[in-house]
Amino acid sequence: MSDIKKGLAGVVADETSISKVNPETNSLLYRGYPVQELASTQPFEAVAYLLWHGELPTDEQLAEFRVAERAHRALQPAVKAAIDQLPLDSHPMDEVRMAVDAIGAIETAGSGNVLDAVGTPKENLERSLRLFAALPAIVAYGQRRRRGLEPVDPRDDLDYAANFLWLTFGEEADPVVVEAFNRSMTLYAEHSFNASTFTARVITSTLSDLYSAVVGAIGALKGPLHGGANEAVQHIFEEIGSAEKVAEWLDAALAEKRKIMGFGHRVYKRGDSRVPTMKASLDTLVEFYDRSDVAELYATLESEFVGRKGIYPNLDYPSGPAYNLIGFDTLTFTPLFVAARVTGWTAHILEQQASNALIRPLSAYNGVDERHIAGYVPDAATL
């Protein structure tokens, strides 16, 4: 069949008013605002509000929103207990997936049969806010328990980004670090019909519930061709070791036809619009932590790979080393992406629910022609 679009490349599957990706102008807009402007000027809470409500909050709305977010930051005992059942070496993405599943089962308990599972728009907006508020403690606890540390209580006097770092490290982060981390959250928050968001929309389209859609999205995000790339970038940085080893490493990797993680994009072919903003934050972190070796490795791999293949870095390329410098475990990087992208996922879930059509594409069959089991005689009931 000539009209198959493998990987749905180039297919426009629906409309959305949440974000606009324009590879021609290298721009990404959230509700009309360039993501770079949002990342450089807004606290992440305001960006979450924008994605859900379509407008940036007024001071009063932001204050009210922050009160609601802060009220749901604590790690629920049942969720902690669910995480604690898992082996310490389970992947943190599996841990986060299970935590969201547990929250969903608890929050929808007693809601009756599947016909009631979907909930009202108001309930789903509230669920979105509670998940957004709960995820930092879940992600942070994952890293702490692997290090043999108890969870710490959230701080009501800190905004989202600063509190997230507090929950993870048990100490207040420097404003330079908070700013870089806040920026990464905004840059990761939303990206139209990417694989995980589309997964969430597919699940939502069956009238399943918001938590099931987010759990499915987490599964899609885990893959290294998508969100898992930020973890994978750090693995290759460690494999290479230092800038002077890049050329030799790249020769071998390309000879083996390996994908170089953190490069390439399905939509952007001339560079990812989010990279310069995150790279600027990586530069501030390099200076703050006095790690010019990281900057050298980053720049050398970028120039060698772009020079040889003409394939540009995506957001995961600067985010991976930035998260490493901040002190996150490498396996925690993609859960950080979950905490950010849950805002975009839930905005899309709400949008899908408001204008739903079951997502059910066709396939072109290329198996054997119709055939029959020798000697089979259908009985009257099956005819």
Enzyme catalytic residues: 265, 316
Angle between helices 175-188 and 333-354 (to 10 degrees): 40
Q: How far is the CB of 26 from ligand CMC (least distance, A)?
A: 14
In this structure, which amino acid lies at residue 173? Answer: A
Q: Which CB atom, from 124 or from 277, has the smaller least distance to ligand CMC?
A: 277
Give backbone dihedrals phi and psi of 29, rounded to 5 degrees, phi first: -115, 135
Residues 108, 120 contacting (CB under 8 angstroms)? no
Q: How far is the CB of 250 from ligand CMC (least distance, A)?
A: 10
User: By CB under 6 A, what part of segment 1-40 binds ligand CMC?
Assistant: 7
Tokens for 220, please give them: 């899609």
User: By CB under 6 A, what part of segment 312-371 binds ligand CMC?
Assistant: 314-316
Q: How far is the CB of 229 from ligand CMC (least distance, A)?
A: 4
Q: Which CB atom, from 21 or from 100, has the smaller least distance to ligand CMC?
A: 21
Choosing from 229, 285, 297, 301, the residue that interacts with ligand CMC (CB under 6 A) is 229
Q: How far is the CB of 244 from ligand CMC (least distance, A)?
A: 21
Q: How far is the CB of 223 from ligand CMC (least distance, A)?
A: 9
Residues 197, 217 contacting (CB under 8 angstroms)? yes
Choosing from 56, 62, 152, 311, the residue that interacts with ligand CMC (CB under 6 A) is 311
User: By CB under 6 A, what part of segment 176-205 binds ligand CMC?
Assistant: 194
Residue 122, SS3 per DSSP:
helix
Choosing from 227, 318, 320, 344, the residue that interacts with ligand CMC (CB under 6 A) is 227
The 10 Å CB-count burial string (b at 16+, else e) for 92-119 is bbbbbbbbbbbbbeebbeeeeeeeebbb
**Interface region with ligand CMC, contact rule CB under 6 A, candidates 101-109, 116-124, 145-153, 219-227:** 219-227
**Interface region with ligand CMC, contact rule CB under 6 A, candidates 85-93, 126-134, 139-147, 225-233:** 225-233
Per DSSP, 114 falls in state G
Q: Which CB atom, from 91 or from 155, has the smaller least distance to ligand CMC?
A: 91
CA distance 201 to 352: 6
Residues 203, 290 contacting (CB under 8 angstroms)? no
CA distance 172 to 151: 15
User: By CB under 6 A, what part of segment 256-275 binds ligand CMC?
Assistant: 259-266
Q: Which CB atom, from 43 or from 320, has the smaller least distance to ligand CMC?
A: 320
Q: Dihedral of the CA atoms 89, 95, 98, 100 (nearest 10)?
A: 170
Cβ-closest position to ligand CMC: 264
Binding-site size, ligand CMC (CB under 6 A): 19
Q: Which CB atom, from 124 or from 196, has the smaller least distance to ligand CMC?
A: 196
**Interface region with ligand CMC, contact rule CB under 6 A, candidates 20-28, 255-263, 278-286, 368-376:** 255-263
Q: Which CB atom, from 41 or from 303, has the smaller least distance to ligand CMC?
A: 303
Q: How far is the CB of 228 from ligand CMC (least distance, A)?
A: 8
Q: Of how many residues is the chain composed?
A: 383
Residues 17, 31 contacting (CB under 8 angstroms)? yes
- What residue ranges bind ligand CMC (CB under 6 A)? 7, 194, 224-227, 229, 259-266, 311, 314-316
